[in-house]
Structure 1
Amino acid sequence: MVRLSLFLYQQKNNMPKIRIAITDDHQIIIDGLVSLLSKYNQLSIVLTTNSAAQMLEDLAKTEVDILLTDVMMPGMSGSELAKKVRQLYPSIKIIALSMSGQAQTVSNMIEDADIAGYLLKQTNAGELAAAIQKVYAGGIYFQEDILQELEKLGNKKSTAVAVKITNREKQLIELIEKDYSSKEIAAALNISLHTVETHRKNIMRKTGTGNVLLLVKWAYENKVLSRE
């Protein structure tokens, strides 16, 4: 978990601020998020809007690193916005914020839009800041409650096709979930980088997932990963 000390370290070393955009149809939510994140000097709120359409328009004029988006909004939904942003501004990383942690809502958002994180709006400032930092660094972030919902969804899936995952592949998935790079996985498991890449391709093929977020979602739903 990223802590405030990391933000202070970055501040002292003149590292660039993380530029954040927020869209939510309720201004009170935006005001609350701005207040929560204002204590972190490394985070800079550069854009806020009350609609997905306005956010899409304003992103053409504002440089943004992280987009925090509501899921359920009138007009263009958070999922639709995320898909358009990924097409037009692929460097922007997206975190979904929602009042609903319902398993199917979470699952749909992950599968329909190429997001990098999902949190509930009632999360605390420290966890939200940690999620932003982790996603900015190239990782993914699921809140604990979200992981629990994904496990519940897995329990309800009785018609899922069984996928045989080897012990070595399970080890890789566990390390991938912890944001290990292929080089770090190779060192941790004492195998070659080529072998790691081969395993990754096989895992993605077996599970039918095209990115890390979908793989982690699949792993929790199918009990390959657990919160214990």
Structure 2
Amino acid sequence: MAIRVLLADDHEILLESLATSINTSDTIEVVATAINGEDVIRKLEVHEVDVLVCDMQMPVMDGISTVLQVRQLYPNIKILMLTMLDDVEPITKAIQAGASGYILKKSKKAELEKAILAVASGKKYFNEEIISSLMKEEKGVVNDFHPQSLTERELEILVLIAQENSSQQIADKLFISLNTVETHRKNLFRKLNIKNLAGIIRYAFQHKLIH
């Protein structure tokens, strides 16, 4: 079955162009489009959607607010941000809000399809320019702590955190207690000098622990 996509962008010409382009794929189908965040919520009430491809800058309800709402109402939907913004701050905000990927509007159709397929399968996706921007942030802070200095269990948990698993999901997958996961999480943040999920994802990409 094709991956069902909802496209959200306030530029209607771009929206129509993207929908037409994506619908030429055999594996992806645009089931609906939306022009702002409130429109996204309305469309999700009537359409089955696997992936939301969402612009960052929209009127009425912006991309970050939309991500937060969708994550709360439809936690199984994966979200890919499609935007012109390549600064670290909006990327970090998108990650913290719950986006699974971040790709620039100037990206080619093949990369957009690749990103949609990646997030639909539960992976993260950031194109090379985005990864470069993330790497510049706090450069040298997490670099001095090599993954080899982490225990095997800590590495497992780090990767699962970077893949957006909750502490309870990690506990279930690794057959360990929730308290054990929380202890490892605190130790990881302390060892790596990381304060949030964006930092964990940045570290995981930097050391090629996730792709």
Give SS of 2:60's match: coil
Indicate if the aligned counterparts of 1:110 and 1:214 stay in contact, CA closer than 8 A. no
Q: Could you tell me which residue of structure 1 aligns to residue 36 of structure 2?
A: 51
Equivalent of 2:25, from 25, 31, 40?
Answer: 40
Q: Could you tell me which residue of structure 1 aligns to residue 185 of structure 2?
A: 204
Q: Could you tell me which residue of structure 1 aligns to residue 116 of structure 2?
A: 132
Cα separation, 2, equivalents of 1:174 and 1:204: 8
With over 3 angstroms needed to count, the CA separation of the structure-2 counterparts of 1:204 and 1:141, relative to structure 1, is farther
Q: Could you tell me which residue of structure 1 aligns to residue 99 of structure 2?
A: 115
Asked if 1:102 is matched to 2:87, the reply is yes
Cα separation, 1, equivalents of 2:158 and 2:49: 31
Number of equivalences = 192
Cα separation, 2, equivalents of 1:63 and 1:194: 32
TM-score by length of 2: 0.75
Indicate if the aligned counterparts of 2:162 and 2:201 stay in contact, CA closer than 8 A. no
Cα separation, 2, equivalents of 1:127 and 1:54: 26
Cα separation, 1, equivalents of 2:180 and 2:135: 24
For residue 124 of structure 2, what is the amino acid of its counterpart?
A: I
Asked if 1:141 is matched to 2:125, the reply is yes
Indicate if the aligned counterparts of 2:9 and 2:35 stay in contact, CA closer than 8 A. yes
Query: Cα RMSD (Å) of the superposition?
Result: 3.5
Cα separation, 2, equivalents of 1:66 and 1:128: 12
For residue 102 of structure 1, what is the amino acid of its counterpart?
A: D
TM-score by length of 1: 0.70
Q: In percent, how many aligned pairs have the same letter?
A: 27
Indicate if the aligned counterparts of 1:204 and 1:215 stay in contact, CA closer than 8 A. no
Offset at residue 215 of structure 1 (A): 2.3
With over 3 angstroms needed to count, the CA separation of the structure-2 counterparts of 1:120 and 1:48, relative to structure 1, is same
With over 3 angstroms needed to count, the CA separation of the structure-2 counterparts of 1:174 and 1:32, relative to structure 1, is farther
Q: Within 5 A, what are the aligned runs for 1:77-226?
A: 77-111=62-96, 113-155=97-139, 166-168=149-151, 172=156, 204-205=185-186, 206-207=188-189, 215-219=200-204, 224=207
Cα separation, 2, equivalents of 1:90 and 1:175: 20
Offset at residue 141 of structure 1 (A): 0.6
Q: For structure 2, which runs of at least 5 residues remain unmatched after alignment?
A: 164-173
Q: For structure 1, which runs of at least 5 residues remain unmatched after alignment?
A: 1-15, 180-192
Q: Within 5 A, what are the aligned runs for 1:62-73?
A: 62-73=47-58
Cα separation, 1, equivalents of 2:25 and 2:145: 43
Cα separation, 2, equivalents of 1:138 and 1:145: 21
